[in-house]
Amino acid sequence: MSRIKEFNLPDLGEGLTEGEILAWLVKVGDTIELNQPIVEVETAKAAVEIPAKWAGQVQAIFHPEGTTVEVGTPIIAIDTDPGAGPIDSSTTDLPTPSAASLAAVEVAPAEGAVEPGLIGGPAPGGRTAVLVGYGPRTTAAKRRPRKGDAPAQATAAPVLPAPVQATPAPVVPVPAAPTVNGNGRTAGPVLAKPPVRKLAKDLGVDLGTLTGSGPLGSITREDVQRAAAAPAAEPLAVAGPATAAASFGADREQRIPVKGVRKLTAENMSRSAFTAPHVTEFLTVDVTRAMKALDRLRERREWREVRVSPLLLVAKAVLLAVKRHPMVNSTWAGDEIVVKEYVNLGIAAATERGLIVPNIKDAGRLTLRELADAMTNLVQTAKTGKTSPADMSGGTLTITNVGVFGVDTGTPILPPGESAILAFGAVREMPWVHKGKVKPRLVTTLGLSFDHRIIDGELGSKFLRDIGDFLADPEAALLAWT
């Protein structure tokens, strides 16, 4: 046991992550007693004095007054046996504040709170015993490693619910041989964040077959989604014999309680589908010019920080088209039709919690720049799960961007109380007749569903045509309509 001990800032009150050093009550060289107050620390909850954990002599103070220190960071080093003469420099080095501070900076927040080494003594597993106290952290040793690669898979497997016994679907596959991927990382265990692993498991994607596009070659959510969209031939082949021997009972069925967003979506969709007579029309548009216009927009200095997506242009197209056909922005109210002069533009968003449709209030009055910012905000809020009920109520017309899932179009169902919803499909390079010749052009398909009680085929078609015209040539449409 080292005679010089470092004291780490503890969690002083139920789940705190940091504290500010208010005042040091001792200085380097001072002889201190057990439980003598050494430092005053202010946390989010209280300003408290910390008593010395060991008697001895103050060897080093790592953080000056006024600094904020993360829980688990060494703040002071105490020589617990100062009478024993100088420290043997052949086996240990004296701590220097800079070195320790550096080590401290690398400490992850709140790590000390769960560090088992704190309990019962100063020799936690996995750390190298250099310098004093705990020595530098070795991140890899925070958790005990699993036993040897292949057996580990076998032992670990029972913990994970195996969907089909005969189907080998290891979440962490064992690479056949160490290879080096594009990022120069040796392919050991596959790198992926836990939510991504969960997604891969849910979608039945084998992470080992993917090449990660994230930092250090880690596999991202997008990588998994892309792989899931691709045809999966191999698993089917393997599943063949298994299916033959398998049962078709409850053991191979999953029962998911209907609640929350799923329940709400189900209620809204069936209510809408069976009350509003839906008509859906499609229009395929060459959006090459629009995409070039977007590129030019992105190059403008004042738009440099703005997130500009094809969806922005579609939203603009819808808003302009509504001005020309106000009747589409209306509600069926039994014995009357309520036509709204404001457009609360809904954007359907797939989130972790399920489908939600927040809307941009009075979107018709926004400039393109304001619209872009509003859409960025809306998406970010939805992704973090912080969309408020107010954001989701009062929508008058909705866009659903099914193109992000790589499909061409769909027949969307109206949100209750709305009369039109536009599905925006993927923008793809396709052979297209342009100026009398077949050329590769960027093409998308729009799908518009509308409520036939209010909107007849003529109005719906004109509305969809206008959206298409704008996307085919935004500059001309702007000149002509505004």
Partner 1 sequence: MAKGDPGASTRGRRAAPRSRKAAASDPELVQLLTPAGERIDSVTGPDGTEYRVDFTDEEYRGLYRDLVLVRKLDAEATALQRQGELGIWASLLGQEAAQVGSGRALRTQDMAFPTYREHGVLYCRGIDPIMPLGLFRGVDQGGWDPNEFKFNMYTIVIGAQTLHATGYAMGVAMDGKTGTDDGEAVIAYFGDGATSQGDVNEAFVWAGVFNSPLVFFCQNNQYAISEPLERQTRIPLYRRAAGFGFPGIRVDGNDVLATYAVTRHALDNARHGQGPSLIEAYTYRMGAHTTSDDPTRYRIASEVEAWQAKDPIARMKAFLEREKIADEGFFTEVDEQARREAVDLRERVLAMPNPEPTTMFDHVYPNGSPLLDEQRAQFSRYLESFEGSAH
Q: Catalytic positions, please?
A: 452
138-155 as b/e: b if 16+ CB within 10 A = eeeebeeeeeeeeeebee
The DSSP output letter for 366 is S
Rounded Cα distance between 185 and 212, Å, is: 11
Q: Which of 28, 31, 33, 45 binds partner 1 (CB under 8 A)?
A: 45
Where in 84-113 is the site for partner 1 (CB under 8 A)? Answer: 112
Among 155, 186, 243, 270, binds partner 1 (CB under 8 A): 155
- Give CA separation, 216 vs 191, 207, 212, 219, 302, in Å: 8, 15, 8, 9, 33
Stretch that binds partner 1, among 117-125, 228-236, 308-316, 387-395 (CB under 8 A): 117-125
Q: x/- string (CB under 8 A) for partner 1, residues 302-341?
A: ----------------------------------------
- Contact with partner 1 (CB under 8 A): which of 53, 307, 369, 465? 53
Nearer to partner 1 (CB atom), residue 35 or residue 96: 35
Q: Which of these segments, 82-90, 101-109, 141-149, 354-362, binds partner 1 (CB under 8 A)?
A: 141-149
Q: Which of 336, 344, 334 is nearest to 420 (CA)?
A: 344
Give the binding range for partner 1 (CB under 8 A) out of 150-158, 165-173, 291-299, 385-393.
150-158
H or E, element range at 382: helix 368-383
Cβ closer to partner 1: 153 or 265? 153
Please tell me whether residue 159 binds partner 1 under the rule CB under 8 A: yes
Residue 39 or 319 having the CB closest to partner 1: 39
Report if residue 158 touches partner 1, rule: CB under 8 A.
Answer: yes
What lies within 8 Å, CB to CB, of 420 at 6+ separation is: 328, 329, 397, 398, 414, 448, 449, 450, 451, 455, 460, 463
How many residues bind partner 1 (CB under 8 A)? The answer is: 33
Distant-in-sequence, close-in-space partners of 435: CB < 8 Å, separation ≥ 6: none
The stretch near partner 1 (CB under 8 A) out of 12-20, 202-210, 345-353, 444-452 is 12-20
Q: Find tokens 């209010």 and name the residue.
A: 454
Strand pairing report for 345-351 and 397-400: parallel
Distance CA(103)–CA(105), nearest Å, equals 5
Between 48 and 472, name the residue whose CB sits nearer to partner 1.
48
In Å, how far from its chain's centre is CA 417?
A: 31
Q: Of residues 29, 125, 231, 334, which one binds partner 1 by CB under 8 A?
A: 125
In the window 176-235, what residues touch partner 1 (CB under 8 A)? none
Residue among 23, 46, 84, 476 that touches partner 1 (CB under 8 A): 46
Tell me the closest approach of the beta carbon of residue 192 to partner 1, in angstroms: 19
- CA torsion sign for 120, 124, 128, 131 is negative
* Contact letters for partner 1, residues 18-37 (x by CB under 8 A): -----------------x--
> Rg of the chain's alpha carbons, rounded to an integer?
31
Candidate residues 120, 182, 184, 231; the one interacting with partner 1 per rule CB under 8 A: 120
Scanning 156-164, 221-229, 327-335, 400-408 for contacts with partner 1 by CB under 8 A, the matching segment is 156-164
* Binding-site member from 4, 5, 6, 8 for partner 1 (CB under 8 A): 8
CB closer to partner 1, 14 vs 458: 14
Residue 294 CB, nearest distance to partner 1 (Å)? Answer: 50
Q: Which position among 22, 25, 129, 156 is part of the footprint of partner 1 (CB under 8 A)?
A: 156
Dihedral sign for Cα atoms in the order 367, 373, 377, 379: positive
Q: Which helix (H) or strand (E) holds 347?
A: strand 345-351
In the complex with partner 1, which residue's Cβ is closer, 119 or 233?
119
Strands (E) located in 9-55: 18-24, 31-32, 37-42, 47-51
What's the token pair of residue 133? 């106290």
344: tokens are: 């609360």
Report the distance separating Cα 482 and Cα 477, nearest Å.
Answer: 8
Residue type, 199: L
Q: Which is nearer to partner 1, 47 or 338 (CB)?
A: 47
CB-nearer residue toward partner 1: 8 or 344? 8
Tell me how far apart the alpha carbons of residues 278 and 36 are, in angstroms, rounded to a whole number. 78
Interatomic CA distance for residues 472 and 469, integer angstroms: 5
Helix axes 457-472, 474-481, angle to 10 degrees: 120
CB atoms under 10 Å from CB of 163, counted, come to 12
400-429: contacts with partner 1 (CB under 8 A): none
For residue 147, state whether it binds partner 1 (rule: CB under 8 A). Answer: yes
11 is a contact residue toward partner 1 (CB under 8 A): yes
Place of tokens 């936690």: 124
Name which of 74 and 346 has its Cβ closer to partner 1.
74
**One of 121, 178, 249, 436 touching partner 1 (CB under 8 A):** 121
Q: Which residues bind partner 1 (CB under 8 A)?
A: 7-8, 10-14, 35, 45-51, 53, 112, 116, 118-121, 125, 143-147, 152, 155-156, 158-159
